[in-house]
Chains A and B, each alone.
Chain A
Amino acid sequence: MSQPAIEVTGLGKRYRIEHAARRETLRDALQHGARRIWRRLRWGTGFTHEEFWALREVDFRVEPGEVLGIIGRNGAGKSTLLKILSRITEPTTGRIAVTGRVASLLEVGTGFHPELTGRENIFLNGAILGMSRAEIRSKFAEIVAFAEVERFLDTPVKRYSSGMYVRLAFAVAAHLEPEILIVDEVLAVGDAEFQKKCIGKMQDVARGNGRTVLFVSHNLPVIRQLCTRTLLLDKGRLLLSGPTAQALAAYAHGQVANEAVRLPPPTDEQRSRVFVSACWVEHAHGAGLACARVGEPWRVRLRVTAARPIRDFVAGLGVVTSEGLGLQTVWSPATDLAPGEHELIYLQDSVALAADSYKLVVGLSEQGRSIQQFEAARLEITGENPLIPCAAASGYGLVLNSMQVSVRRL
Chain B
Amino acid sequence: MPTQKPLPSLVITPAQGTSRYWLDLWRYRELLGFLAWRDLKVRYKQAVLGVAWAILQPAVQVVLLTFVFGKLAQMPAGDEQLPYPLLVLAGLLPWQLFSNAFSGAGGSLVGNSHLISKVYFPRLIVPLSSLAVAVVDFLILLVLTLLILPIAGYWPTWHLVLLPLFLLAALLIAFGAGLWITALTVRFRDFRFISPFILQVGLFVTPVGYRTDNLPTWRELLALNPLTGVIDGFRWCLLGGKVEFQATALISTVVVSGILLGTGLWLFRRTERSFADII
Contacts and interface: CB of A to CB of B under 8 A. Distances in A.
Interface in A103-134: 104, 106-107, 110-111, 113, 115-116, 120, 123-124, 127-130, 132-133
Most B C-beta atoms less than 10 A away, residue of A84, A100, A130: A130
Contact of B7 (A89, A101, A111): A101
Interface stretch (A24-32, A252-260, A353-361, A396-404): A24-32
Nearest to A123: B34
Contacts of A209: 1
Given A98-B9, A110-B114, A86 B188 contact: no
A62 to B, nearest CB: 14
A88 interface: yes
Contact of B31 (A27, A89, A98, A127): A127
Contacts of A111: 114-115, 118-119
Given A111-B114, A111-B119, A124-B38, A15 B277 contact: yes
A120 B116 CA distance: 20
A128 B119 contact: yes
Given A90-B273, A128-B121, A115 B14 contact: no
A43 B269 CA distance: 12
7 contacts: A41-B187, A43-B270, A84-B12, A88-B120, A90-B16, A95-B12, A100-B8
B189 interface: yes
A127 B30 contact: yes
Interface string B242-279: 00000000000000000000000000001101101100
Interface residues on A, range: 35 or more
Main secondary structure of the interface of B (DSSP, over half): mixed
A85 B276 CA distance: 13
Interface in B184-239: 187-191
Contacts of B16: 90
B12 A127 contact: no
Given A100-B7, A100-B8, A113 B274 contact: no
Nearest to B34: A127
Interface of B: 1, 7-16, 30-31, 34, 38, 41-42, 45-46, 114-121, 187-191, 270-271, 273-274, 276-277
A95 B14 CA distance: 8
A98 B11 contact: yes
A83 interface: yes
A24 B31 CA distance: 30
A142 B31 CA distance: 22
Given A15-B277, A96-B12, A98-B11, A115 B42 contact: yes
B115 A128 contact: yes
Rank and list the top 9 A-B pairs by shortest CB-CB distance, nearest first: A87-B120, A26-B190, A96-B12, A127-B34, A89-B276, A100-B7, A98-B10, A110-B118, A26-B188
Contact of A97 (B11, B14, B42, B45): B11
Contact of A124 (B8, B9, B34): B34
Contacts of A43: 187, 270-271, 274
A107 B12 contact: no
Contacts of A115: 41-42, 45-46
Contacts of B188: 24-26, 29
Nearest to B115: A111
Nearest to A133: B30
Contacts of A364: none
A97 B38 CA distance: 34
B31 A128 contact: yes
Contacts of B11: 95-98
A120 B115 contact: no
B85 to A, nearest CB: 35
Contact of B119 (A27, A29, A97, A129): A129
Contact of B13 (A83, A94, A132): A94
A85 B188 CA distance: 28
A129 B121 CA distance: 9
Interface string A22-51: 001111010000000000110100000000
A314 interface: no
Contact of B9 (A15, A99, A116, A132): A99
A91 interface: yes
B111 to A, nearest CB: 11
B115 A110 contact: yes
Nearest to A42: B270
Given A29-B188, A115-B45, 12 more contacts: A86-B120, A88-B116, A88-B117, A90-B15, A95-B13, A97-B10, A98-B9, A102-B10, A107-B118, A116-B42, A133-B30, A179-B7
A111 B187 CA distance: 22
B244 to A, nearest CB: 40
B189 A25 contact: yes
Task: Please indicate which of the listed interface residues A89, A92, A123 has the most CB atoms of chain B within 10 Å of its own CB.
Answer: A89
